């Protein structure tokens, strides 16, 4: 139970969880009816996890992460960037529904999505700086890279959709993205 009372939020939460379940059962991120590999396949993703990542998180990062720092990073120490993408993917597909049907209830969902996107940026920064072999493997793995870039782009699309609808909390500009942009520039 996540404390939601609005029927729209409850429905979005059920769909969010069903996206996780469907993705896991098909071993592919479910994105608009298509399953994108490699999902959580350990060999396809860097082994850097939340537990190790915490040493690289700055006070500025904690601010950008919002509630994700305490609720997710500290409570899921074994999760990796692949798990982050799973969260972003599920939020990306449910937040536009909430923005359209219950705009007054979007704040908590938007903070979660922006926090997860910020966390991917922190993962990429830390990988590039301290885990260079894993970073280079990720940049060269076209399947993992494609999933990462697609899911992050979809996250920004969801935020922009809500922002254009007048929901100011969806403004994507404050999200740290320099490491994500640097990753996208590597070919």
How many other C-beta atoms lie within 10 A of the C-beta of residue 133? 9
For the segment 3-26, what is each residue's pLDDT rounded down to a tens digit? 567 899 889 999 999 999 999 999
For the segment 62-112, what is each residue's pLDDT rounded down to a tens digit? 999 999 999 999 999 999 999 999 999 999 999 999 999 999 999 999 999
Per the domain annotation, does 42 fall within a domain?
no
Per the domain annotation, does 29 fall within a domain?
yes
Per the domain annotation, does 134 fall within a domain?
yes
3-state class (DSSP) for residue 78: coil
At 6 the pLDDT is 84
Instruction: Label residues 16-38 b or e (16+ Cβ within 10 Å = b).
Output: beebbeebeeeebbbbeeeebeb
For the segment 47-73, what is each residue's pLDDT rounded down to a tens digit? 999 999 999 999 999 999 999 999 999
At 187 the pLDDT is 73
For residue 162, pLDDT over 80 is answered with yes
For residue 151, pLDDT over 60 is answered with yes
Return mean pLDDT, the chain. 94
At 1 the pLDDT is 43
Q: How far apart are CA 29 and CA 82, in angstroms?
A: 10
3-state class (DSSP) for residue 46: coil
The answer, as to whether pTM is greater than 0.75, is yes
Residue 34 DSSP label:
E
For residues 124 and 177, is the Cβ–Cβ distance under 8 A? Answer: no
In Å, how far from its chain's centre is CA 134? 19
Per the domain annotation, does 43 fall within a domain?
no
Per the domain annotation, does 41 fall within a domain?
no
**Domain, as residue range, for 140:** 7-36+49-185
At 2 the pLDDT is 56
Per the domain annotation, does 83 fall within a domain?
yes
At 3 the pLDDT is 57
Number of compact structural domains in the chain:
1
For residue 124, pLDDT over 70 is answered with yes
Per the domain annotation, does 2 fall within a domain?
no
Per the domain annotation, does 141 fall within a domain?
yes
């Amino acid at each position: 139970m996540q404390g939601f009372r609005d029927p729209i939020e409850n429905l979005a939460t059920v769909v969010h969880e069903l996206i996780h379940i469907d993705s896991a059962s098909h071993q592919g991120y479910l994105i608009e009816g298509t399953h994108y590999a490699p999902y959580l396949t350990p060999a396809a993703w860097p082994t850097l996890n939340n537990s190790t990542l915490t040493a690289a998180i700055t006070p500025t990062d904690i601010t950008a992460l919002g509630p994700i720092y305490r609720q997710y990073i500290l409570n899921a120490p074994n999760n990796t960037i692949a798990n982050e993408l799973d969260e972003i993917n599920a939020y990306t597909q449910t937040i536009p529904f909430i923005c359209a049907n219950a705009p007054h209830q979007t704040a908590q969902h938007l903070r979660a999505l922006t926090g997860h996107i910020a966390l991917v940026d922190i993962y990429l920064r830390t990988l590039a700086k301290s885990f260079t072999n894993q970073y280079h493997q990720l940049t060269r793995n076209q399947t993992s890279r494609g999933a990462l870039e697609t899911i992050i782009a979809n996250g920004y699309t969801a935020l922009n959709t809500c922002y254009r609808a007048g929901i100011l909390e969806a403004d994507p500009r404050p999200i740290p993205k320099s490491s994500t942009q640097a990753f996208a520039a590597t070919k």
